[in-house]
A and B are shown apart, each in its own frame.
Chain A
Amino acid sequence: MRVTPDALPPPREADVVIVGAGLSGTVMAAELAAAGKRVVLLERGRQWDPQDYRGPHDDWEAAATGPWNPSPNRRKLPEDYPIDDSGAEMKPLLFNGVGGSTVLYGAHWMRLLPSDFRRRTLDGVGDDWPIGYGELAPFYDRVDRDFGVSGIAGDPAFPARPDYPMPPLPIGEIGETVAAAHARLGWHWWPGSNAIASRPWRGRRPCVLRSACGEGCSEGAKASVDRTHLPAAVAAGARLVTGARVVQIETDASGRASGVVWRDATGVRHRLRAAKVVLAANALGSARLLLGSGAAGLANRSGLVGRRLMMHPFTRVAGLFDRPMGASQGAWGQALYSMEFAEADPASGRPHGAKWNLGPSGGPLHAALFPWPGGPPIGAELHERVAVWLDRAALWGITVDDPPDPENRVQLDAGAPVEGDDLPGLRLTYRIPADCREVLAFNAARARESFEAAGAVETIALPLAEDYGWHLLGTCRMGDDPETSVVDRWGEAHDHPGLFIADSSVFVTGGSVNPAATVAALSLRTAVQILSGRNGR
């Protein structure tokens, strides 16, 4: 079911206004609306029609170089505010629109490890979260069902958990080959857990393995929240307003959140009063709004709004095989993953963990645009490269846990005004710690060994895939101490009762896994807390 934004007059009052109709905002909206709260979702982007997604079309790869690129700086749609990332060693990826980044994500569905919540205690790195794995586990269980995740329980890399709603997607010939290699090496591997249907599930069709998740799932198999949560939210009475740019969070004389000011698509300003304001605009957008609200920003007693940005340093290792292996297709969600080096082991020279995911390699343009050593394959080399890649290449993606650093941050860029918006664009500062680069190199070398053990005739390891900054974390960390954190353990701002953050801003550390499941679980947990009224502020 596709939700169409209503044409009613602009809402003036709500119990809860949620800024952003992406993953965390829509999970929040569904939960609160189902409980009878009057919810308004304000989304700066538009509602896309899945018929516009390019997966079934011959230009699916070409479209990803432009209008369907996950980088806002490449898309440059009117709803994309500019981000100066010249000072960032990873480049941010996100999607402004109904469904948010779930429209384009790979739907790798992973839980943080118990140790990720206790990096300070265990490793002397970063900080401990105010909550632990056990407090989040029931919410992980619930979002696994709500998102319709395919996978298989029993992975010894994680604590015991209930069965997934659906069996795993097929791992394919490449997956079976690499799995056998890991069995010989004695290395961990596991069939991928993905928020992608492997059988009919709550109105979703099974995946057809087209490998075009990154351009939007036209089959309706991938769990994007415009499909999984928004219909239920709207059916329960939530209002969705698109093209709504929130430009100010308002508070009353006591500091309590009282609503927002937003501009519609024509630039007209509106005031919406609400007892509770929930920010769900991702770790960049939510920090942008807090920094730009009021004379000196909001919720920033700690000085940490916008700071401690984590982006998960990432790289890719390609394995080229001497025969066709069906590697052009398969779920772009991970066929399998390895947590062999996911736990930090400082004694072994690995201060941070890394998670690996194995995936397909796409069509000829993916081959042509892979960052081959020596630069673009110009001339006859192009044909050679495409020939050895097409249907024969597999890719390990390697994601490294980067410890929070206050100097890695998001700032308003006063020199980058945004048309139709009161807030300017952003400037990012993000340096990859030297020990993270060492961990990347270590894991890339091991990933080459993985492919070599699987029979690859050539392996190519990139030092860094800087354009894959999908995971934006930590700009408004949670904590119990208002002097060292922005929100409390429930996501409520220490300084402003009634102001909540539901998105990845609140991460204290990032772990090395894909964060979508944790974002969903945290948002759901905050929603349940709001409904309980237990915090009583």
Chain B
Amino acid sequence: MTDSTHTIERGIAGTRLAALAAVMIPAGRGLPDAPAAGVPGAMLDRILALRPEAGAILADAVAFRTELSPEDAVPAMAREEPALLSALFEVLAAAYYLAPAVRAGIGYSGQQALALPRGGFGAEDLVLEMMESPNRFRVPPDFVVSGVRQSDTGQSHES
């Protein structure tokens, strides 16, 4: 985490960031809001470790229209600085979906290593139908398929 981010996550700035995060990602459908999921907090720290430059996005967001309440600042940001809103949302959402409670709540356990089915690739009968249909490619007037001897392409590499 950068020093500037460390500062943002604490004190008044951190409070503002948490409030903005709660507006952008509220509780619902049995899921916690962003602060309760560690955004800001442990989950956001992980994103900032991956993306130190994201600290500047958070700083800009915290500094945006501080005279407005968080509830009013978020729609104002959407109107006035949509690029900042998108960047902030990307950072907050990336952190939010790292939270174990959130992942459990949506039934997502990450990408799993799956075994390939042994019974075929699927829809084999439909492939046969397609295979028997007429050619669909256009044939240029000088079309030749055997212009180069196979032996001229060298040997296949075994690595």
Interface residues of B in 18-38 (CB under 8 A from A): 23-26, 28-29, 31
Q: Measured between C-beta atoms, what is the minimum distance from A424 to chain B in Å?
A: 22
Chain B 92-119, CB-CB to A under 8 Å as 1, else 0, gives: 0111011000110011101111111100
Chain A residue at minimum C-beta to C-beta distance from B139: A114
Contact B29 A152 (CB under 8 A): no
- CA–CA, A108 to B86, complex, Å? 30
Q: A138-B148, A156-B135 are in contact. Are A58 and B110 (CB under 8 A)?
A: yes
Separation of A221 and B77 alpha carbons in the complex (Å): 44
Contact B106–A115 (Cβ < 8 Å):
no
B residues sitting closer than 8 Å to A (CB atoms) are 23-26, 28-29, 31, 46-47, 50-51, 53-54, 74, 78, 82, 85-86, 89-91, 93-95, 97-98, 102-103, 106-108, 110-117, 120-123, 126-127, 129-131, 133-150, 152-159
Q: B residues within 8 A CB of A380?
A: 26, 28
Which single member of A138, A190, A206 contacts B127 (CB below 8 Å)? A190
Partner of B108, one of A383, A390, A531: A390
Interface contact B131-A154, CB-CB below 8 Å: yes
Query: A457 near B: Cβ within 8 Å?
Result: no
Which listed residue, B50, B111, B147, B159, touches A229 by the CB 8 Å rule? B159
- For the complex with contacts A1-B159, A208-B116, A383-B28, 6 further pairs of A-B residues with Cβ separation under 8 Å are A57-B110, A62-B95, A132-B144, A139-B148, A157-B135, A170-B116
Interface of B is mostly: loop
A517 to chain B, nearest CB (A): 14
Q: Is A78 an interface residue (CB 8 A)?
A: no
Minimal beta-carbon separation of A324 from chain B (angstroms): 9
Q: Is the CB of A157 within 8 A of B148?
A: no
Establish whether residues A142 and B153, one from each chain, have CB atoms under 8 Å apart when the complex forms.
yes
Is the beta-carbon distance between B98 and A58 smaller than 8 angstroms? yes
In the complex, how many residues of chain A place their beta carbon closer than 8 angstroms to a beta carbon of chain B?
100
Docked complex: A132-172 residues within 8 A CB-CB of B: 132-135, 137-139, 141-142, 145-146, 152, 154-160, 167-172
Give the chain B neighbours of A115 by CB distance below 8 A.
137-140
With a CB–CB cut-off of 8 A, which chain A residues contact B50?
59, 62-63, 66-67
From A116-124, A425-433, A443-451, A492-500, give the one contacting chain B. A116-124
For residue B145, which residues in chain A have a CB less than 8 angstroms away from its CB?
133-134, 137, 159-160
Which B residues lie within 8 Å of A227 (CB)? 159
* Contact in complex: B86, A183 (CB < 8 Å): no
B121 engages A382 (CB within 8 Å) = no
Whether the Cβ atoms of B112 and A365 lie closer than 8 Å is no
**Complex Cα distance A171/B117, Å?**
10
* Residues of A19-49 whose CB lies within 8 A of B: 30-31, 34
Whether A10 sits at the interface, judged by CB under 8 Å, is no
Closest to A340 in B: B136
B112/A363 in contact, CB under 8 A: no
- Tell me the minimal C-beta distance from B42 to chain A in angstroms: 13
Determine whether the beta carbon of A134 is less than 8 Å from that of B130.
no
- State the CA gap A132–B145 with chains docked (Å): 9
CB pair B25 A382 closer than 8 Å: yes
- The reply to whether the CB of A291 lies closer than 8 angstroms to some CB of chain B is no
Given A228-B159, A232-B159, do A142 and B154 touch, yes or no (CB 8 Å)?
A: yes
Chain B residue at smallest Cβ distance from A532: B152
For residue A61, CB closer than 8 A to chain B, the reply is yes
Q: Is the CB of A179 within 8 A of B97?
A: no
Contact A157 B46 (CB under 8 A): no
How far in angstroms is the closest Cβ of chain B from A260?
A: 26
Known: A66-B54, A376-B86. A170 touches B131 (CB 8 A): no
Which of A146, A167, A343 has the most chain B CB atoms closer than 10 A to its own CB? A146
A339 within 8 A of B: yes
Among B26, B131, B145, B158, the one with the most A-chain Cβ atoms within 10 Å of its Cβ is B145
Contact A363 B110 (CB under 8 A): yes
Nearest-Cβ distance from residue B146 to partner chain A, whole angstroms = 7
Is A415 part of the contact surface with B, judged by Cβ < 8 Å? no
Q: Is the CB of B138 within 8 A of A122?
A: yes
A171 with B113: CB separation less than 8 A = no
Mark contacts of A238-254 with chain B using CB atoms, 8 A cut-off: 1 yes-contact digit, 0 otherwise. 00000000000000000
Q: A176: which of B54, B111, B114, B123 is its contact (CB, 8 Å)?
A: B123
